[in-house]
């Protein structure tokens, strides 16, 4: 059997990608214009400005973490010495190639928010306010501009560098078959770099970074589960994105070695981590609901009972009930149509999850304490812009390197994979 190793980007694919990017750009410009015209008190103006930046923050952070989850998939399976994913390993590799560019965009947005003088998103950037706020004053050692910047730059740099290194190692054996000894050394080298990446991942995505980027929007409130919950959210969306690309390539007659057995395993991941996400979501929710302490329930008041309750409960249904019931059957995990539908739904559902994480904080008027829901159409259009960017970069990377890591020692394990 001859393998089609070289992916050529279909013309329509890039057209769609550029159209989506254009739509996103238009939405950003439109949103900027609508939020920066018109009068009102300084507080109202600041909230409108915050609405613009919060939209960029939500989309960039969400899609950065989703594409970064692809590299987590590679390193986690590498560390576990898994072989089943080898036949489509180049797909998550290509998706993770979006991390550097997404990092740059996210860094620009975060720095603009922290140093831009708008305090409606990150209240702790207002040094005058922090002096009179005992809670924020107490958290000053963690929530300050210097630490935030250093941590963000370090994190984004390490994700980009270690991800690049993992991709380099993978591509380095494309032209040369390995002997058994070389293969063992190669696996060891992979394992060492993968564990380094995972260490950084555990210290960032699974602990500190969501606290800094997202949880500090509601700076008075804290939850130790928050980072896990954010991680679960982006991880299941990342798996869905990988599944989408596998299906896309299969439909275009690539990835001959990948079959429904591999898709079945991806479906199991989507099913299992949807349930895992719900478990974390509920663990966070129930403790706060049970204790019923005002300083903790402030987070859920605008979300579960306030103006965001529609989005809040809808995303719970999309992210839990739908995967639970629709992905439970074996046949649905092996069906291309169901898997495509569920992958799209899960990516959208967790985008909604991020929406309700980010917006209630900045959209609350500090004087009247009234929370409002912005027009979600703009945010959705900006999200499509980011999707276009990810599509373009992923397609480009896929077409530049062979689709099969054919000299990898574990490739046979993937070819004979059977669930």
Triad 408, 414, 416: Cα angle to 5°: 125
Q: Least distance from C-beta 298 to another protein, angstroms? A: 18
Please name every residue paired with 364 in a beta bridge, in sequence order, or none if there are none: 371
**CA-to-CA distance for 66 and 347, rounded, in angstroms?**
9
Q: Least distance from C-beta 398 to another protein, angstroms? A: 30
Stretch that binds another protein, among 57-65, 123-131, 178-186, 280-288 (CB under 8 A): 280-288
16 contacts 391 by C-beta, under 8 angstroms: yes
Q: Does 229 bind another protein (CB under 8 A)?
A: no
Q: Least distance from C-beta 45 to another protein, angstroms? A: 39
The answer for residues whose C-beta is within 8 angstroms of residue 366's C-beta and 6 or more apart is 43, 120
Q: Least distance from C-beta 327 to another protein, angstroms? A: 13
* φ, ψ at 185 (rounded to 5°): -65, -40
Whole-Å CA distances, 411 to 87, 188, 328, 392, 416: 6, 16, 29, 28, 9
Stretch that binds another protein, among 165-173, 288-296, 350-358, 360-368 (CB under 8 A): 288-296
For another protein, the closer of residues 284 and 356 by Cβ is 284
For another protein, the closer of residues 293 and 367 by Cβ is 293
Q: Which of 285, 351, 378, 392 binds another protein (CB under 8 A)?
A: 285
Q: Least distance from C-beta 363 to another protein, angstroms? A: 26
Q: Which of 289, 301, 321, 370 binds another protein (CB under 8 A)?
A: 289
194 contacts 78 by C-beta, under 8 angstroms: yes
**CA-to-CA distance for 267 and 272, rounded, in angstroms?**
8
Map tokens 């999200």 to a residue: 383
Q: Least distance from C-beta 332 to another protein, angstroms? A: 12
Q: Least distance from C-beta 76 to another protein, angstroms? A: 24
Q: Does 177 bind another protein (CB under 8 A)?
A: no
314 contacts 320 by C-beta, under 8 angstroms: no
Map tokens 């209630």 to a residue: 360
Q: Least distance from C-beta 277 to another protein, angstroms? A: 15
Q: Which of 290, 293, 368, 369 binds another protein (CB under 8 A)?
A: 290
Which ranges constitute the DSSP H helices of 172-225? Answer: 180-203, 209-213
377 contacts 347 by C-beta, under 8 angstroms: no
Query: What number of chain residues touch another protein (CB under 8 A)?
Result: 10
Q: Least distance from C-beta 289 to another protein, angstroms? A: 5
24 contacts 378 by C-beta, under 8 angstroms: no
For another protein, the closer of residues 332 and 356 by Cβ is 332
**CA-to-CA distance for 209 and 148, rounded, in angstroms?**
9
The answer for residues whose C-beta is within 8 angstroms of residue 114's C-beta and 6 or more apart is 122, 125, 145, 148, 149
Q: Which of 19, 29, 154, 286 binds another protein (CB under 8 A)?
A: 286
For another protein, the closer of residues 179 and 292 by Cβ is 292
Site string for another protein, 313-342 (x = CB under 8 A): ---------------xxx------------
Q: Does 292 bind another protein (CB under 8 A)?
A: yes
For another protein, the closer of residues 331 and 368 by Cβ is 331
Site string for another protein, 232-271 (x = CB under 8 A): ----------------------------------------
Q: Least distance from C-beta 417 to another protein, angstroms? A: 9
For another protein, the closer of residues 330 and 400 by Cβ is 330
Terminal Cα distance for the chain, rounded? 23
Among the listed residues 36, 160, 39, 49, the one whose alpha carbon sits nearest the alpha carbon of residue 101: 160
Residues that bind another protein (CB under 8 A): 282, 285-286, 289-290, 292, 328-330, 418
């Amino acid at each position: 059997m001859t393998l089609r190793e070289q992916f050529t980007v279909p013309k329509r694919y890039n057209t769609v990608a550029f159209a989506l990017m254009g739509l996103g750009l238009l939405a950003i410009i439109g949103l900027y214009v609508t939020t920066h015209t018109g009068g009102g008190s300084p507080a109202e103006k600041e909230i409108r400005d915050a609405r613009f930046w919060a939209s960029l923050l939500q989309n960039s952070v969400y899609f950065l973490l989703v594409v970064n989850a692809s590299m987590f998939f590679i390193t986690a399976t590498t560390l576990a010495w898994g072989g089943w994913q080898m036949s489509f390993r180049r797909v998550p590799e290509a998706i993770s190639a979006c991390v550097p560019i997404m990092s740059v965009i996210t860094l620009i947005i975060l720095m603009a928010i922290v140093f831009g003088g708008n305090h409606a998103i990150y209240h702790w950037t207002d040094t005058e306010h922090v002096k009179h706020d005992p809670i924020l004053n107490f958290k000053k050692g963690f929530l300050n501009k210097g630490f935030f910047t250093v941590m963000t730059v370090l994190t984004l740099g390490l994700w980009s560098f270690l991800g690049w290194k993992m991709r380099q190692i993978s591509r380095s054996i494309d032209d040369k078959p390995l002997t058994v000894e070389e293969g063992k050394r190669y696996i060891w080298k992979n394992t060492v770099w993968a564990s380094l990446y995972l260490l950084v991942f555990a210290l960032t995505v699974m602990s500190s970074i969501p606290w800094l980027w997202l949880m500090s929007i509601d700076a008075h409130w804290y939850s130790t589960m928050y980072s896990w919950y954010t991680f679960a959210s982006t991880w299941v969306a990342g798996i869905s994105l990988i599944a989408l690309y596998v299906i896309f390539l299969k439909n275009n007659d690539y990835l001959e070695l990948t079959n429904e057995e591999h898709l079945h395993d991806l479906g199991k991941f989507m099913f299992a981590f949807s349930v895992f996400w719900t478990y974390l979501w509920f663990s966070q929710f129930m403790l706060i609901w049970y204790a019923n302490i005002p300083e903790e329930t402030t987070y859920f008041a605008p979300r579960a009972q306030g103006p965001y309750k529609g989005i809040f409960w809808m995303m719970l249904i999309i992210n839990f009930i739908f995967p639970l019931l629709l992905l439970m059957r074996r046949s649905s995990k092996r069906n291309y149509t169901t898997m495509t539908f569920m992958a799209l739904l899960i990516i959208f559902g967790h985008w909604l999850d991020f929406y309700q994480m980010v917006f209630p904080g900045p959209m609350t008027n500090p004087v009247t304490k009234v929370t409002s829901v912005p027009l979600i159409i703009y945010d959705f259009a900006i999200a499509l812009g980011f999707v276009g960017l990810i599509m373009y970069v992923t397609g480009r990377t896929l077409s530049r390197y062979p689709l099969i890591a054919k000299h990898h020692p574990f490739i046979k394990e993937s070819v004979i994979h059977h669930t």
